[in-house]
């Protein structure tokens, strides 16, 4: 059973960065999901897929995995490049697409 340690990206629907500073440890599925024949629901007997642990730092997440003997892989954190633009740039005359109502 392996685990994946990563830092989640910010929510695309919001401009804030909430819940994107912590590191998350999730277990990879041990077996593929199966379809229940009666109702057609997708399920799995692996309960570790439901566990999602959050840590303040990468070192804390790695220490937890090592303490409990969990094999893990670390995905490097992606730092977005901020796009700086002032409000007045929206009304410049030399825009690529002219601003109109």
In this model, does residue 97 exceed pLDDT 80? no
3-state helix, strand and coil shares in percent for the chain, rounded to the nearest 5: 20, 20, 60
Yes or no: say if 30 and 44 are a contact pair by the CB < 8 Å rule. no
In this model, does residue 91 exceed pLDDT 70? yes
Q: What is the pLDDT of residue 5?
A: 96
| pTM: predicted TM-score of the whole model, two decimal places | 0.70
In this model, does residue 99 exceed pLDDT 90? no
Most confidently predicted of 7-11, 13-17, 33-37, 55-59: 55-59
**Domains located in the chain, CATH noted:** 2-77 (3.30.160.190)
In this model, does residue 101 exceed pLDDT 70? no
Mean pLDDT computed over 31-57: 89
Q: Whole-angstrom Cα distance, residue 97 to residue 95?
A: 5
Q: Whole-angstrom Cα distance, residue 16 to residue 98?
A: 29
Q: With the C-alpha atoms ordered 16, 23, 59, 81, is the resulting torsion angle positive or negative?
A: negative
């Amino acid at each position: 059973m392996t685990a994946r340690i990563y830092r989640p990206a910010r929510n695309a629907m919001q401009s804030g960065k909430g819940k994107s500073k912590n590191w998350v440890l999730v277990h990879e599925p041990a077996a593929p999901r199966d379809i229940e024949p009666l109702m057609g629901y997708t399920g799995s007997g692996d309960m570790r897929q439901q566990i999602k642990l959050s840590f303040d730092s990468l070192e804390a997440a790695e220490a937890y995995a090592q303490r409990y003997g969990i094999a893990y892989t670390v995905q490097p954190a992606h730092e977005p490049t901020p796009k700086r633009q002032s409000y007045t740039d929206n009304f410049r005359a030399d825009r690529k697409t002219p601003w109109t109502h």
